[in-house]
Amino acid sequence: QVFTFNAVEIKAQPSNKVKNGASVSIVCHADISKKTDFQLKHNFTILKDGKVVFMTVSDKGDARYEIPTARSSDTGDYECTVEADGKSKSSNSSHVRVTGMTKPILTAEKKEVLEGEVVKLRCELPEEAPPLHFFFRKIKMNSTPKEKYVFELHRNFSVVEFSVEEGDNILQFDCFSRRSVKFEYESSEHSNKTLVTVREPFIKPTLSVRPSSNITEGDRIQFECSTVVAQMRGIEIILQKNKAILNSVRDEKLLKYTTVATLEDSGEYLCKVEQGRASKSTKLNVFVSELFPKPILSASMRNLDENKELTLTCGISGFRKANFSILRKNSNGDTWLKNSRNLTMRVSVNDTGSYTCKAEVRGIVKESKSIRINVYAPVSKPTLSVVSGFPEVVLGEPLQLICRSVMGTPPITFTFYKGNEVKKTVMNDTYATFLDENIRQNDSRAYKCDARNNHSSGMKTSNILNITVIVPIKSATLDSFPNGEVQDGSETTFLCTAMEGSWPIHFRFFRKTDHDVLLYEKTENADRVLWPKKGMRKQDTGTYYCMASNRANVDVKSHPITISVILATWQKGVIAAFVLLPIAGAVTLASWWFLYKKKK
């Protein structure tokens, strides 16, 4: 019983593309060659998108998978595998597409609702399989439909809610669905339209104001807002202006609000009636005419010296019959000064500040813009000093000066002079600083400053500050007399000389050891100093150097010199005597001994 698979084929009948609801057959055919004629059992397996949808055993070479009513969920790639006597072969895949979807069924939970309630809808496709895309529409006359979308992954129906808004009366709803298969979309037709009737829980409110026209500041105005309601419980009426709530009532159908009109009361008013989710509103524009303009406060002077006279006057353009008051503005509240149109006072520095006035007519109070009054005390004579404390500076280094005026109303303008040249002008409260960044040898060393403010007395000038410029020491040299070798016990004079440098200069002499030893120091108003060292000894042999410094605080070190202490002349004679006399005695004794022997 020898056989072989030539081919396995799969096809859809009548076509690979069928309409939704039509019947379609998936046919699998096995082409087999046999050596002899014998019965062979075939195991047919049909798969859709890799999942088994049909299996059968047959001794024929064909198998048929019947789909009597095709749905969009039957769209997919089909293939067939045939197994016989241990051998198997698979077909190529064949794509079958079912166009269109069944018509969805839409139901509404209630057929009649109140404004503010919600309509709960259910859209279902009982013959379709998930996943499905659902689209719900709320339709009303002369309006664009509102749409909601829901994706259902595991069920063939969906539920949504639509809120019922003010103005909704007769509403229609429908739905439709879509499916995505292999990047292709199939859409259903729209469902049946479901009709929902809307009832008003209350009518749109009525908003009125009395008087209805020619409202002027100071008039008493009354707002009334009312509605007709089916059920009083839970009803609320709110009156607003610019979103601010002016008044409200609950479980009543009439709201009243009374106030004295001001210019700020002009604008749009909103009356809103709410019950549950339902809300209706009415708007009303109100215009209030001005009774009188804001007062204007004027001053005889805005900037003045202390102990001068100041007059403040409050007035209204084209209007004189009013009650005036003058006040001073403070951070913790206004301070009343006088109930009058005019205020005259002799001022002090403490009177500096902002002032305003108020005018009252028929209960309407208006306030002027504030004005600033500045009262000045004269500046005192400034003092100029060096920030470091000493009136001196090292050549080439910066010099920082401070000019201070103890008395005087700020702001104070300080001006710094170097010689007669203006170097800097600063505005501050009580002091200012000036940095002269590079002091040169030939610069003027006289500084001064002046101070002034807005007081009529004018400018005050400090005393002249003379600065001492400290010139640093450039170099130092060390010499000795005698130079080099010195006899033991004699005197040696050391000379340390400083090149340039301001006096006084501090000189120090050192001998080099493991730890350099300070031998002598002295401060002189000169550029050199002598140090006579008496009684030089052998242990004084060594290397010497000197250091020079002044108020520039820079130590300058000289080159080193070497001193050798040698024996004195008399010391050499003594040593010679002690050495030569024994030798002479020995020679004499040897000569005598030689002559004696010869004679004998």
| CB atoms closer than 10 angstroms to residue 67 | 18
Higher-confidence position of 279 and 574: 279
Residue 2 structure tokens:
């020898």
Q: Give CATH superfamily name and number for 383-470.
A: Immunoglobulins (2.60.40.10)
Q: What percent of the chain has pLDDT over 90?
A: 51
SS3 587: helix
Do the domains spanning 105-199 and 383-470 agree at the CATH topology level?
A: yes
Residues β-bridged to residue 545? 510
The most distant pair of C-alpha atoms in the chain lies apart, rounded to whole Å, by 183
What pLDDT is recorded for position 538?
84
pLDDT band for position 567 (cuts 50, 70, 90): low
| Amino acid letter, 288 | V
Q: Out of 3.40.50.2000, 2.60.40.10, 1.10.150.120, 2.40.170.20, select the CATH number for domain 3-99.
A: 2.60.40.10
Going through 182-302 in order, the beta strands assigned E by DSSP cover 184-187, 194-199, 206-210, 215-216, 220-226, 236-241, 244-250, 254-260, 267-275, 278-286, 288-289, 296-299
598's CB contacts (< 8 A; 6+ apart) are none
What pLDDT is recorded for position 573?
62
171 sits in which H/E element: strand 170-181
122's CB contacts (< 8 A; 6+ apart) are 106, 107, 109, 157, 158, 159
What pLDDT is recorded for position 568?
61
The CATH classification number of 206-286 equals 2.60.40.10
Task: Identify the residue whose tokens are 């009774």.
Answer: 291
Thinking of the domain 475-563, which architecture would CATH place it in? Sandwich (2.60)
Residue 168 structure tokens:
């909704």
SS3 496: strand
Interatomic CA distance for residues 453 and 414, integer angstroms: 9
Residue 589 structure tokens:
């004794």
The CATH fold assigned to 105-199 is Immunoglobulin-like (2.60.40)
What pLDDT is recorded for position 269?
94
Report domain extents, the chain: 3-99, 105-199, 206-286, 296-376, 383-470, 475-563, 570-599
Q: What is the pLDDT of residues 298-344, one digit of tens each?
A: 999 999 999 999 999 999 987 778 899 999 998 888 899 999 999 99
pLDDT of 600 strictly over 70 = no
Q: Give CATH superfamily name and number for 296-376.
A: Immunoglobulins (2.60.40.10)
Q: 565: closest CA among 544, 593, 584, 546?
A: 544
pLDDT of 356 strictly over 90 = yes
Among 61-70, 95-104, 183-192, 571-580, the least confident range: 571-580
564's CB contacts (< 8 A; 6+ apart) are 484, 485, 486, 541
Q: What is the pLDDT of residues 240-293, one digit of tens each?
A: 998 899 999 998 989 999 999 988 899 999 999 988 878 889 999 999 998 888
What pLDDT is recorded for position 353?
93
Q: 237: closest CA among 258, 257, 262, 264?
A: 257
pLDDT mean across residues, the chain: 88
| CB atoms closer than 10 angstroms to residue 116 | 21
What pLDDT is recorded for position 85?
86
